[in-house]
Amino acid sequence: MNRSEEETRARLGAVAQALHRAYVHEQALGTLLSAVEGDPLDMLILAMLSQATSDRHAQVAFSRLRARFPAWAQVLDASTEQIQDAIAFAGLGAQKARRIKEVLELLAGRGVLGLGWLRGYARGEAMAFLTGLPGVGPKTAACVLLFGFGHPAFPVDTHVARLCRRLGVAGPRERAGRIQERLERLVDPAQARRLHLTLIHHGRRVCRARRPACARCALASICAMGQESSGPAGKTTAPSGGERPT
């Protein structure tokens, strides 16, 4: 590990500690931390539904899908139009329905309509299998590994990417896939799940895409952009830039 990576690792550790201190007593985050985990195939379908929409819309679509088809075998037997109708709330219904059906057909073709058998695989092998499925990229696969298997993967969504760029642990225009690789290499595995969720929480509440609240941010003393945005007299101004779509 070179010096710059050591510094990034130290900064990530400091970020994890500061966010833990900031939110340790917050009930909403506690609920989130205890709620986000489950059967790996459930996590995969939920992550596929969450592509290009909010977590809330994905959750509603997932609940409607499970209410209509309580077993994945029933989803497999359903028509694409029936699946599309059930998941419409998440948007891109036709595309997502087609991919969900393709994934289930592939798994059924292997003889098991589930992903539990991946548990014994090394993380790299499990990642390779998952990203080989239709419509499954590194972020979706990392969600399955982290929340379905408890592997220290690090999905990088738009909030995580924005924070990493502003904090100075990623380049200002660095792509989400590269950021994910770095975080998976440098974040303490024991901290991955909590840090992932607290970064998202912080990105929604404080370090928003527009008008981040640097003046009340628990990361202000660590953050590259937050320090840049403080004037010489300590006056905080809104940071700009550092944003690109993931």
* Residues at the interface with ligand SF4 (CB under 6 A): 163, 166-167, 206-207, 212-214, 217, 219-220, 223, 225-226, 239
235 is catalytic: no
- Closest to ligand SF4 by CB, 56 or 204: 204
| Sequence-distant (≥ 6) Cβ neighbours of residue 181 within 8 angstroms | none
- Closest to ligand SF4 by CB, 141 or 199: 199
Dihedral through CA 125, CA 184, CA 19, CA 223, nearest 10? Answer: -160
Beta carbon of residue 174, minimum distance to ligand SF4 (angstroms, whole number): 16
- Closest to ligand SF4 by CB, 38 or 241: 241
Structure tokens, 125: 């092998």
- The SS3 assignment for 230 reads strand
Beta carbon of residue 199, minimum distance to ligand SF4 (angstroms, whole number): 9
Over the range 171-182, which residues count as b (16 or more CB within 10 Å of their CB) and which as e?
eeebebeebbeb
Instruction: Determine which one of 96, 101, 139, 235 is catalytic.
Output: 139
Radius of gyration over every alpha carbon of the chain, rounded to an integer in angstroms:
19
The dihedral sign for the CA sequence 46, 50, 51, 57: positive
Beta carbon of residue 187, minimum distance to ligand SF4 (angstroms, whole number): 17
State the DSSP code for 222. Answer: T
Length of the chain: 246
- Closest to ligand SF4 by CB, 84 or 229: 229
Active site residues: 139
